[in-house]
Amino acid sequence: MSDTGQPVGSDAKTTARFEELPADELILYGRELGLTLDAKMERQQLLLRIRERQALLKQLDHDALLDIVVWARRPVRKSISKEELAREIACIKKVDAQGLSRRGLVALMRLRGIAVNGDEPTEVLGERLRTHEPFWDRVTRHRRRLMGGIISHFLEGPQSPAGPGGPGEGEAYKFLPEDQNPTLRDQIAEEGVVSGLARRIRGAADDYVREKLDEIELRIDRKLEEIDRRLAEWRDREIANRLRIIRITLVASILVALLSLGYSLIRPH
pLDDT digit string, tens, across residues 41-51: 888 888 899 99
C-beta neighbour count of 117 within 10 angstroms? 7
Average pLDDT value for residue range 122-151: 86
Rounded to an integer, what distance in angstroms lies between the CA atom of residue 221 and that of residue 225?
6
Three-class SS state of 199: helix
**pLDDT higher than threshold 50 for residue 7:** no
Query: Residue type for 129, please?
Result: L
Query: Rounded to the nearest 5°, which phi and psi values hold at 116?
Result: -150, 130
Average pLDDT over residues 189-212: 73
Rounded to an integer, what distance in angstroms lies between the CA atom of residue 8 and that of residue 82?
11
How far is it, in rounded angstroms, from Cα 17 to Cα 139?
39
Looking at residue 101, the DSSP 8-state letter turns out to be -
pTM here is 0.57
Please check the confidence at residue 132 and state whether its pLDDT lies above 90.
no
* C-alpha distance across the termini of the chain, in Å: 98
Tell me the backbone φ, ψ of residue 55, rounded to 5 degrees. Answer: -65, -40
Alpha carbons 94 and 141: distance in angstroms, whole number: 9
At 156 the pLDDT is: 75
pLDDT in tens, 74-93: 988 888 899 999 999 999 98
pLDDT for residue 162 is more than 60: no
Does 20 score more than 90 pLDDT? no
Question: Exposure pattern of 74-99 as b/e (b: 16+ CB <10 Å)?
Answer: eebeeebbbbbbbbbbbebebbebeb
Q: 168 in helix, strand or coil? A: coil
Residue 160's pLDDT band (cuts 50, 70, 90): low
